[in-house]
Amino acid sequence: MNDQQLHELLQAVRDEKLSVDDAAGQLQRDGFDDLGFARIDTNREERCGFPEVILAEGKTPEQVVAIAGRLEQRSGRCLITRLDDEQRSLVRRTFPSAEVDPLAGTAYLGLVPEMTTGHVLVVTAGTSDLPIAREAETTARVMGAKVDLVADVGVAGIHRLRAIEPYVAEADAVVVVAGMEGALPSVVGGLVPCPVIAVPTSRGYGANLGGVAALLSMINSCVANVAVVNIDAGFCGGYIAALIATRSGQPRT
């Protein structure tokens, strides 16, 4: 409940259009739907600009579709991430019109906004980082950003970075997805004038410690415009990049 809504409610109390009990109830229960196993945040979109997103991992397929149904009903759209096969299958059956991406593990219900404002560039260090990059791409796209994806420009052949040059000038935010030593965000960060969201991946072996080595590398970046999200968190990377891009973006010719 924002400031204006609060004043209106209190005015309604004063004007005796609203009873004291009802007002107290509204002040106390405002903002969520209770499904028993889940408490849906129904004013997330109003507060944060995008409805609650469902992390499928750790939920039963039935819980996933129940929450998705309620969110779509409330907001007209719903994004689900990290779907396993069983969950994805039930989502498809329940919402035949959903846009489902098995590689990225995502499903989207509702209309994708027209891409009129804000550009996001997603870059991967290696071929095996693609699923995480796709999660970022899908997320940013359904949030209304224009997204370009450039794969496999890792630092072992630094000249391959020239592949991102056509996109640098107009990108409002760059998502860099990298495993192993996680060096790419630092190198990209030094080449672009916008924020870089670094997504460490668990790709690699041995002392990569499930992605912790890449995470540490990115957190210690010597470049100032790099911020980091969780290991394999393509969703978060895409989300923040889209927030930045749609905020900055203006239609371009």
Q: Could you say which residues in the range 215-244 bind its own copies, by CB under 8 A?
A: 215-233, 235-236, 239-240, 243-244
Q: Segment 116-175, which members bind its own copies (CB under 8 A)?
A: 125-128, 130, 151-163, 165, 172
| Total residues at interface with its own copies (CB under 8 A) | 112
Q: For residues 98 and 233, which CB has a smaller minimum distance to its own copies in the complex? A: 233
Candidates 37, 84, 93, 252; binder of its own copies (CB under 8 A) is 37
Distance, in Å, from the CA atom of 120 to the CA atom of 137, rounded to the nearest integer, reads 8
Distance, in Å, from the CA atom of 5 to the CA atom of 92, rounded to the nearest integer, reads 38
Supply the minimum distance, in Å, between the C-beta of residue 165 and its own copies: 6
20 lines the binding site for its own copies (CB under 8 A):
yes
86 lines the binding site for its own copies (CB under 8 A):
no
108 lines the binding site for its own copies (CB under 8 A):
no
Report the alpha-carbon angle 173-179-185, nearest 5.
30
Supply the minimum distance, in Å, between the C-beta of residue 240 and its own copies: 5
How big, in percent rounded to 5, are the helix, strand and coil portions of the chain? 45, 15, 35
Residue 146 CB contacts under 8 Å (≥ 6 apart), including other chains:
115, 118, 119, 120, 245, 249
Supply the minimum distance, in Å, between the C-beta of residue 158 and its own copies: 6
Supply the minimum distance, in Å, between the C-beta of residue 99 and its own copies: 19
183 lines the binding site for its own copies (CB under 8 A):
yes
Q: Cβ(108)–Cβ(102) under 8 Å?
A: no
Candidates 51, 52, 145, 167; binder of its own copies (CB under 8 A) is 52
Q: For residues 144 and 200, which CB has a smaller minimum distance to its own copies in the complex? A: 200
N residues, the chain: 253
Q: Where are the beta strands (DSSP E) in 22-156?
A: 32-34, 39-41, 54-55, 78-81, 99-101, 106-109, 119-124, 146-150
